[in-house]
């Protein structure tokens, strides 16, 4: 996937995520202020540890976004 395609995908996912948050605001209850949200593909299995000590929340991209705990 080219950089341009990746940017377009991420922008589209961001808008889809915002639409879902509007429908279900409780989705953000587990996301702390200052966190980074990362979208992963639906077949993503294992999360690597974040070595940069950043707050990162992962959401699996499916028909609906699903938080990965």
Percent of the chain having pLDDT more than 90?
7
Q: What is the domain partition of the chain in residue ranges?
A: 3-68
Q: Does the model's pTM come out above 0.75?
A: no
Strand-by-strand arrangement of the 66-68 sheet: 36-40, 56-60, 66-68
Tens of pLDDT, residue by residue over 1-33, are 788 988 888 888 889 889 989 998 998 888 888
Q: Where are the beta strands (DSSP E) in the chain?
A: 36-40, 56-60, 66-68
How would residue 48 be classed by pLDDT, with cut points 50, 70 and 90?
low
How would residue 51 be classed by pLDDT, with cut points 50, 70 and 90?
low
């Amino acid at each position: 996937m080219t950089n341009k395609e990746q940017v377009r995908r991420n922008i589209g996912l961001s808008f889809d995520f915002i639409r879902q948050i509007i429908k279900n605001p409780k989705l953000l209850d587990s996301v702390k202020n200052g966190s980074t949200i990362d979208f992963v593909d639906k077949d993503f299995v294992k999360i690597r540890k974040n070595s940069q000590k950043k707050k990162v929340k992962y959401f699996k991209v499916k028909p609906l976004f699903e938080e990965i705990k």
